[in-house]
């Protein structure tokens, strides 16, 4: 009887398990959080404030223009999304506020770093300005 190498089978198994465990899972805000209405009217001043916060807290991963190409993005387990695309922009303001505040996985929580909720709403307004 010939010995059959199990190495190819083992590689396929490990690859399949790794892909299943590490693929990005959808991130949906809880329904009640998604329905929350932005309390800060979008304006030039709000967007400017959001852009300042973006430069400080977000650009290193999400990129200067929100394309997901920041200097730290390659080091992350998940690729940051492109904020200019319709899939991102179709989310509610409440969802963006929730995700920014709470974080998940590579995305840190900013509820302590950006403690003023108005500032997070300004950031949401800036994120809205990134659409193409």
Residue 20: pLDDT band with limits 50, 70, 90: very low
Burial 71-95 (b: 16+ CB within 10 A, else e): eebeeeebebbbbbeeebeebbbbb
pLDDT in tens, 84-100: 999 999 999 999 999 99
Domain annotation covers residue 18: no
Report the CATH number at residue 42: 1.10.760.10
Domain annotation covers residue 13: no
Q: Given this model, what pLDDT does residue 59 score?
A: 97
Domain annotation covers residue 56: yes
Tallying the residues shown for the chain, one arrives at: 132
Segments forming the whole domain that contains residue 35: 27-128
Number of domains in the chain: 1
Q: Given this model, what pLDDT does residue 14 score?
A: 62
Domain annotation covers residue 35: yes
Q: What is the pTM of this model?
A: 0.81
Domain annotation covers residue 10: no
Q: Given this model, what pLDDT does residue 11 score?
A: 63
pLDDT in tens, 35-93: 999 999 999 999 999 999 999 999 999 999 999 999 999 999 999 999 999 999 999 99
C-alpha distances (whole Å) from 12 to each of 9, 16, 24 are 5, 6, 20
Domain annotation covers residue 117: yes
Domain annotation covers residue 94: yes
**Of the candidates 91, 76, 78, which has an alpha carbon nearest to the alpha carbon of residue 130?**
91
Domain annotation covers residue 8: no
Average model confidence (pLDDT) across the chain: 89
**Of the candidates 24, 26, 28, which has an alpha carbon nearest to the alpha carbon of residue 94?**
28
Rounded Cα distance between 56 and 44, Å, is 19
**Partners of residue 107 on adjacent β-strands:** 104
């Amino acid at each position: 009887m010939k010995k059959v190498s199990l190495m190819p089978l083992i590689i396929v198994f490990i690859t399949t398990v790794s892909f299943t465990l590490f693929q990005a899972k959808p991130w949906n805000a809880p329904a009640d959080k998604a329905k929350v209405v932005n309390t800060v009217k979008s304006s030039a001043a709000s967007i400017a404030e959001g852009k300042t916060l973006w430069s400080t807290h977000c650009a290193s991963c999400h990129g200067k223009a929100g394309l997901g190409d920041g200097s730290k993005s390659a080091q992350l387990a998940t690729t940051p999304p492109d904020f200019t695309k319709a899939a991102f922009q179709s989310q509610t303001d409440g969802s963006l506020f929730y995700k920014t505040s709470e974080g998940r996985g590579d995305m840190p929580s900013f509820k302590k770093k950006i403690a003023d909720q108005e500032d997070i709403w300004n950031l949401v307004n800036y994120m809205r300005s990134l659409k193409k």
